[in-house]
């Protein structure tokens, strides 16, 4: 069941709307949005759908009609189980758009389900058409973020192929932490990790037993501290050196973006 979003008012100022929208906060991290752009973002979150833990957001091979702003909770995209074992291809965090890379295809390439209770804001694919038609600058931002997502996915796939188990875990923890900081720059080193060990195992291509062993080893080595469901990174530099970690999220180039003068208003 969908309902009007009582938390977003298109008459709000940019700063007020950003405070209420984790998606706007994420976009504003990269390029300061003006009032018209904020109003468009607000319209993307006009309806809300609550999804319980384990509930489906998108189904593999189903026709893609809507994209989704993940307003609350965590979700994962995974391939259909093979030999009773699924492979997670992406973890979605609050403020991210589910389905953006799928704009170029007709059917969903993966299942997307919630791993916590959450709230998604569906909006039709053709809503993005208005961005390209009326706000080239916002369209450029969407394109840049989609490209960034693909680059970070390739980084993870490279780590899966060449990294050992400890390196995979280090890269995973650093990546989640950096992404959470996009919408919460004052996060610090402690963050909530609501994934079960079996979920982490599917992300890293390991067994649940191995993940348990790795987390215990990282704790004993003084790299992290665990107070479930929270993790604190104690030695970030050591973890970065372990995997030669590159923070792609601070490397988005906006120098080529169209100026606001080229936008026709949304």
CA distance readout (Å), 52 to 75, 120, 199, 248: 11, 11, 16, 31
pLDDT at 261: 62
Three-class DSSP category at 50: strand
- pTM over cut 0.85: yes
Compute the distance between CA of residue 258 and CA of residue 260 in angstroms, rounded to an integer: 7
Is the CB of residue 96 less than 8 Å from the CB of residue 120? no
Confidence of residue 16 (pLDDT cuts 50, 70, 90): low
Of the candidates 103, 29, 19, the one whose C-alpha atom is nearest the C-alpha of residue 68 is 103
Structure-token match 């959470």, residue found: 180
In the numeric block, which tokens belong to residue 65? 């009609």
Tens-digit pLDDT profile for residues 193-205: 999 999 999 999 9
Question: How many other β-carbons are positioned within 10 Å of the β-carbon of residue 61?
Answer: 11
Domains of the chain are: 2-152 (2.60.120.10), 163-249 (1.10.10.10)
Of 44 and 9, the one with more pLDDT: 44
Tens-digit pLDDT profile for residues 54-64: 999 999 999 99
Distance of alpha carbon 49 from the chain centroid = 18
Of the candidates 137, 125, 7, 138, the one whose C-alpha atom is nearest the C-alpha of residue 71 is 7
Determine which helix (DSSP H) or strand (DSSP E) holds 167, and give its type and residue range: helix 165-183
Of 205 and 265, the one with more pLDDT: 205
Is the CB of residue 110 less than 8 Å from the CB of residue 58? yes
Of the candidates 133, 143, 129, 131, the one whose C-alpha atom is nearest the C-alpha of residue 37 is 131
Of 109 and 53, the one with more pLDDT: 53
Of the candidates 42, 155, 20, the one whose C-alpha atom is nearest the C-alpha of residue 94 is 20
What mean pLDDT is predicted for residues 223-250? 96
Tens-digit pLDDT profile for residues 241-261: 999 999 999 888 999 998 876
Q: What is the dihedral of CA 36, 21, 182, 37, to 10 degrees?
A: -10
Range of lowest pLDDT (11-20, 88-97, 104-113, 161-170): 11-20
Structure-token match 């050196």, residue found: 241
What is the residue-averaged pLDDT of the chain?
A: 86
Is the CB of residue 73 less than 8 Å from the CB of residue 118? yes
**Residues forming beta bridges with residue 85, ordered by sequence position:** 82
**127: Cβ contacts below 8 Å, ≥ 6 apart:** 43, 44, 67
Confidence of residue 236 (pLDDT cuts 50, 70, 90): very high
- DSSP letter at 111? E
Please check the confidence at residue 264 and state whether its pLDDT lies above 80: no
């Amino acid at each position: 069941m969908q309902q009007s979003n009582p938390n977003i008012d298109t008459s709000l100022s940019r700063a007020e709307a950003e405070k209420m929208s984790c998606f706007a906060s994420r976009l504003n991290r990269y390029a300061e949005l003006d009032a018209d752009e904020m109003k468009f973002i607000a319209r993307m979150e006009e309806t809300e759908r609550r999804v319980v833990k384990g509930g489906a957001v998108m189904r593999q091979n189903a026709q893609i009609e809507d994209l989704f702003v993940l307003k609350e909770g965590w979700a994962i995209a995974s391939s259909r189980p093979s030999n009773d074992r699924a492979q997670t291809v992406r973890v979605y965090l609050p403020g991210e758009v589910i389905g953006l890379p799928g704009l170029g295809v007709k059917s969903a390439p993966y299942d997307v389900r919630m791993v916590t209770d959450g709230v998604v804001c569906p909006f039709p694919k053709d809503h993005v058409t208005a961005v390209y038609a009326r706000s080239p600058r916002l369209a450029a931002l969407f394109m840049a973020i989609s490209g960034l997502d693909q680059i970070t996915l390739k980084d993870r796939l490279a780590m899966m192929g060449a990294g050992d188990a400890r390196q995979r875990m280090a890269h995973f923890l650093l990546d989640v932490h950096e992404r959470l900081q996009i919408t919460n720059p004052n996060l610090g080193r402690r963050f909530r990790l609501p994934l079960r060990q079996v979920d982490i195992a599917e992300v890293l291509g390991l067994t649940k037993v191995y993940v348990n062993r790795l987390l215990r080893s990282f704790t004993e080595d003084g790299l992290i501290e665990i107070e479930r469901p929270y993790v604190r990174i104690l030695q970030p530099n050591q973890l970065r050196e372990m995997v030669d970690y590159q923070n792609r999220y601070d490397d988005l180039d906006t120098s080529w973006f169209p100026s606001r003068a080229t936008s026709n208003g949304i």
